[in-house]
Amino acid sequence: MHDCDNKEIVVKLNAGDNMAKNEVRTITLKVSDNTKEKMVEYFEDKKRDKTPPYAVFQAKEADTMVTLYESGKAVFQGISADIDANIWMETEKHLNPGKKLEYKKVDNNPKNKDKKIHYNEKLYNCTSIGSDEVGTGDYFGPVVVTAAYVTKKDIPFLEELGVRDSKKITDEHILKTVPQIIKRIPYSSMILSNEEYNNKYNEKMNLNTIKAVLHNKVLLDMTKKYKTHDYIVVDQFTEPFIYYKYINNLPEVQRKITFVTKAEDQCLSVACASLISRYVLIKEFEKMSKEYKMQIPKGAGQKVDEAGAILVKEYGTDILRKIAKLNFKNTEKIKELAK
């Protein structure tokens, strides 16, 4: 691994924090060709095998079904449709300044037409330390976990930058935005290489255990440096009691954590941590691509299998232990393709 007065509560996006569980919205957005290209690139590894007539693709993004049509109409359907559609609205505005946005929102539940998405204002308008991780769904590349410290005074600055969940912002935008963030926002990042990951991963040390250990490390690092904060927030990936069970044998454990589902949409320190982690991951992929003189793809789709087969043919199967997560199903597919 490489180091690059709160009340312990659990906050979830339920009826009190967001739309009710079964409340579904439909949002349509007309996108330009350059935005279409970005969408195709982003959803490459999330596409469904079957698509509706005249559709470029259909893909599932968390709680949202996204369909992009040849005409440029993008349809977002689901509980998180607002969040996902807003990301691509911002992308459309960024790529095509001055062009009027064409979109339509439809609430499929008439009883909820006057409802709005409610965020936890206490978590948003506060001084907090938040952590998030990336790379756990990528076959190649490391796992990166970051904790960031955001004060109330930082909120206008981050809002002006349009800080959002890194999973829904293009790599190009992250590369431009994060250098501005890290000049002002204190953070602590840890990179777990795939070689280290493969050495640690076993029945007793699964992915969630690994993540908990890394989160604990960066949070301890930040809370020791920045003692004035209202909340310590973690993007919840398991139940709190299980999280603490994973790390109860460590010599020092960070307590008083607020666990939040979709925390990057609720808490700016987690949003910053998510963006910084993604930035670090992008840079790691750039290093790998340069070292092996080929584009190393993200995700775990077909392109990953094809790239893996090329690497195995060139360097042998041992290369996978160094730069890939061996427990992924891709490993066997790659070995078959490389024969």
| Strand partners for 28 | 75, 104
Helix (H) or strand (E) holding 130: strand 128-134
Residue range 76-89, pLDDT digits in tens: 998 778 878 888 98
Question: What is the spatial distance between Cα 142 and Cα 176, in angstroms, rounded to a whole number?
Answer: 22
Q: Is the pLDDT of residue 44 over 50?
A: yes
Do the strands 102-107 and 73-78 form a parallel or antiparallel pair, or are they unpaired?
Answer: unpaired
292, two tokens: 């092996």
| Confidence tier at 262 by pLDDT (50, 70, 90) | confident
Residues recorded for the chain: 339
| Confidence tier at 135 by pLDDT (50, 70, 90) | very high
What are the Cα distances from residue 274, in Å, to 116, 178, 208? 25, 10, 17
337, two tokens: 């393709």
Give me the amino acid identity at 83. Answer: I
Closest CA to 143 of 97, 101, 91, 201: 201
Q: Across residues 113-132, what is the average pLDDT?
A: 75
Whether 25-112 and 2-12+121-285 are alike in CATH topology: the answer is no
- Selected from 3.20.20.70, 3.30.420.10, 3.90.550.10, 3.40.50.300, the CATH number assigned to the domain covering 2-12+121-285 reads 3.30.420.10
List of residues 6+ apart from 203 with CB closer than 8 A: none
Q: Across residues 186-191, what is the average pLDDT?
A: 98
Could you tell me the fold of the domain covering 25-112? TATA-Binding Protein (3.30.310)
Question: How much is the pLDDT for 24?
Answer: 64
Read off the DSSP letter of residue 99: P
Question: How much is the pLDDT for 97?
Answer: 86
Q: Across residues 39-47, what is the average pLDDT?
A: 87
Closest CA to 166 of 279, 261, 260, 262: 279
| Confidence tier at 142 by pLDDT (50, 70, 90) | very high
Phi (first) and psi of residue 258, to 5 degrees: -95, 115
Question: How much is the pLDDT for 87?
Answer: 86
Mean pLDDT computed over every residue of the chain: 86
Count of helices and strands (H, E) across the chain:
12, 12
Of 43-52, 165-174, 197-206, 315-324, which has the strongest mean pLDDT? 315-324
Contact 96, 31 (CB under 8 A): no
Contact 273, 147 (CB under 8 A): yes
244, two tokens: 């603490």
Q: Across residues 50-61, what is the average pLDDT?
A: 85
Question: How much is the pLDDT for 293?
Answer: 96
Q: Across residues 87-112, what is the average pLDDT?
A: 78
Of 8-22, 56-70, 143-157, which has the strongest mean pLDDT? 143-157
Segments making up each domain of the chain, as ranges = 2-12+121-285, 25-112, 300-337
Question: How much is the pLDDT for 8?
Answer: 35
Question: How much is the pLDDT for 310?
Answer: 97
| Confidence tier at 17 by pLDDT (50, 70, 90) | very low
| Confidence tier at 9 by pLDDT (50, 70, 90) | very low
